[in-house]
Amino acid sequence: MSDIFTTLASSVRRDILSMLKECDMTAGEIADKLTVTKPTLSGHLNILKAADLVITERQGTTITYSLNTTVVDELLANLVGLLSNKDEKE
Amino acid sequence: MSDIFTTLASSVRRDILSMLKECDMTAGEIADKLTVTKPTLSGHLNILKAADLVITERQGTTITYSLNTTVVDELLANLVGLLSNKDEKE
DNA sequence: TTGGTAATTAGCGAAATAACAAATTAAGAT
DNA sequence: ATCTTAATTTGTTATTTCGCTAATTACCAA
């Protein structure tokens, strides 16, 4: 949970998540849509994977990235809990 | 919206928000609960204020910080919008 | 005006972050 | 085995962030 926010602090990583929200993509396809180089993108994908926000599946030489919807849903639930529990009396 | 995530990337700032969620506090009171020095805390409070997440009110020599619930609610709505409409195929 | 308390600003060094080019691994095809 | 394509890892550099101490501002009281 703590590094989730650090992960989301990068606009490149948020852009990647927004794209994966629409459809699964390979690293190369993502790179074509962004302005960063492939090595830079690879680093961002590693961070997203470490945060368990994306899932990978290799097919031959290409690797497809997709959103880990389960974890994303949990993240949203935690976020709401972090900031909006006026009722909670401890 | 973009710097909101940068703002939330610090655990110190998230702790401050959690505390202010419970009750309003002065900078000194917040400092007593955390392990950082007062100047360091002041910097974090400035960032939170710049992000419009907290509101300040001076009473004599003390300044009371409180959560800007309006902006926090907007933030949560935006977060949900950013990540949770995977099914929405339009 | 002088003193005391609360909080901030200024300045510095250490650590983390992000980007790139170059080199390397992985898998499939010839 | 060799070549090609896709993607990653390595190594380097520059920028940003974080926390501290020291100095400063703001306010109130005597």
- Which is nearest to B51 in space by CA: B28, B67, B31, B30? B67
pTM for this prediction? 0.87
CA dist., res. B79 & res. A69, Å (int) = 14
CB–CB of A82 and B11 under 8 A? Answer: no
pLDDT digits (tens), chain A, 90 positions: 557 889 999 999 999 999 999 999 999 999 999 999 999 999 999 999 999 999 999 999 999 999 999 988 888 877 776 666 544 433
**What whole-number distance in Å separates Cα of residue B79 and Cα of residue B72?**
11
CB-CB under 8 Å, A75 with B17:
no
Give the separation between CA A57 and CA B17, rounded to whole angstroms: 38
pLDDT digits over B46-76, tens only? 999 999 999 999 999 999 999 999 988 888 8
Q: Which of A80, A83, A87 should be substituted to probe chain B, the one whose Cβ sees the most B Cβ atoms within 10 Å?
A: A83
The residue type at A67: L
| Separation of A61 CA and D4 C1' (Å) | 11
